[in-house]
């Protein structure tokens, strides 16, 4: 059973506000009990895709396609039904807990309000809040309820935000870069909590991150986004070893590793497209080391690879580059076809 199904989602701002859609023909799904990664650089559309699952699109934005969250057609829901979806069926773990937890209220007030919004009676709400804090590994939860947000470290406050996301016993968790502002040790603890809770409750988890290696390590499947499009989808087990899109290969090659020989990291050349930029053909063509003239003319569709076990890639040269990307290493350029010059900022 899928707890999230996005099919052909295109989101655009009114004319004159952006040169291209914010999201273009995005399709993905998350099954019950599955951990799915959504990876890409800042501005690629990851967070907006995450919020589309809650029906939280930008004001005046138009949307085409369908979004079904825990069985509900999000775009067909009334305002009341949307509030119920957000408070009971889906939990959002924010990127910055200090922006999500009101500093003027005690932690207990924040959690009790979230629990009450999920339909728990007032008499039971405080006990439920204490249980939630214990579930996310906070010692002395009774005492923690009386604390103010500024009394918590970033990692502890992120645990509070996770507890708030769990208030309604959701079937789907949306984690929007939940470890960005934390040090490495705390990142591991927070991720462990999210993964344990997902497994214990048989919930689905959509993990939004810019770290492809992290996604490959903890996710069942991974979607890679670029300029508002899904450009590659693979099981995590095969993505790291055999990327199919040059952008994915470039991200992997730019990631430092604790294993293997230490070498020079090669960043993906150029820069991401801004919303004021619309290019013909493949949106990655100006940064791609394997570009051909046809790449700047034709927009590649996300095509499933035959017999590849759930692998799909949006690249006109996917078949011919498959062995080359695996053999020569991620992001290494074709010597006869240099990278296009970076566009001026």
Phi, psi (degrees; rounded to nearest 5) at 167: -55, -35
- Work out whether strand 229-235 and strand 221-226 pair parallel, antiparallel, or are unpaired: antiparallel
pLDDT digits (tens, 9 = 90+) for 124-175: 999 999 999 999 999 999 999 999 999 999 899 999 999 999 999 999 999 9
Domains by residue range for the chain, with CATH: 2-223 (3.40.50.300), 242-328 (no CATH)
For the chain, the 3-state helix, strand and coil shares in percent, each to the nearest 5, are 35, 20, 45
Rounded distance between C-alpha atoms, residue 151 and residue 96, angstroms: 16
pLDDT band at 112 (very low <50, low <70, confident <90, very high): very high
d(CA 9, CA 73): 13
Residue 114 makes CB contacts below 8 A (sequence gap 6+) with: 87, 164, 167, 168
Which whole number is the average pLDDT over 313-328?
82
pTM: 0.89
């Amino acid at each position: 059973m899928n707890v999230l199904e996005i099919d052909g989602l295109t989101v655009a701002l009114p004319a004159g506000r952006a040169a291209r859609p914010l999201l273009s023909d995005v399709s993905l799904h998350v099954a019950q009990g599955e951990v799915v990664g959504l990876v890409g650089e800042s501005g690629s559309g990851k967070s907006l895709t995450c919020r589309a699952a809650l029906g939280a699109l930008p004001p005046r934005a138009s949307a085409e396609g369908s979004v079904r969250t825990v069985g509900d057609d999000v775009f067909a829901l009334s305002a009341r039904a949307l509030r119920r979806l957000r408070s009971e069926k889906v939990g959002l773990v924010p990127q910055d807990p200090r922006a999500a937890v009101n500093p003027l209220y005690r932690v207990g007030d924040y959690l009790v309000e979230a629990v009450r919004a999920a339909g728990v009676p007032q008499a039971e709400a405080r006990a439920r809040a204490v249980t939630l804090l214990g579930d996310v590994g906070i010692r002395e939860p009774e005492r923690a309820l009386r604390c103010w947000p500024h009394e918590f470290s970033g990692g502890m406050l992120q645990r509070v935000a996770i507890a708030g996301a769990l208030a309604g016993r959701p079937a789907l968790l949306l984690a929007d870069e939940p470890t960005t502002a934390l040090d490495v040790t705390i990142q591991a603890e927070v991720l462990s909590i999210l993964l344990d809770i997902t497994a214990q409750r048989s919930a689905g988890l959509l993990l939004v991150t810019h770290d492809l290696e992290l996604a490959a390590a903890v996710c069942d499947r991974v979607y890679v986004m670029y300029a508002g499009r899904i450009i590659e989808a693979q099981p995590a087990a095969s993505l790291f070893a055999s990327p199919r899109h040059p952008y994915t290969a470039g991200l992997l090659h730019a990631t430092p590793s604790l294993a293997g020989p230490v070498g020079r990291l090669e960043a993906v050349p150029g820069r991401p497209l801004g919303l004021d930029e619309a290019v013909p053909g493949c949106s990655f063509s100006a940064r791609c080391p394997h570009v051909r003239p046809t790449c700047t003319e034709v927009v590649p569709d996300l095509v499933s690879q035959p017999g590849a076990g759930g692998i799909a890639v949006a690249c006109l040269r996917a078949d011919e580059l498959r062995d080359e990307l695996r053999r020569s290493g991620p992001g290494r350029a074709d010597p006869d076809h240099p990278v296009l010059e970076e566009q001026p900022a």
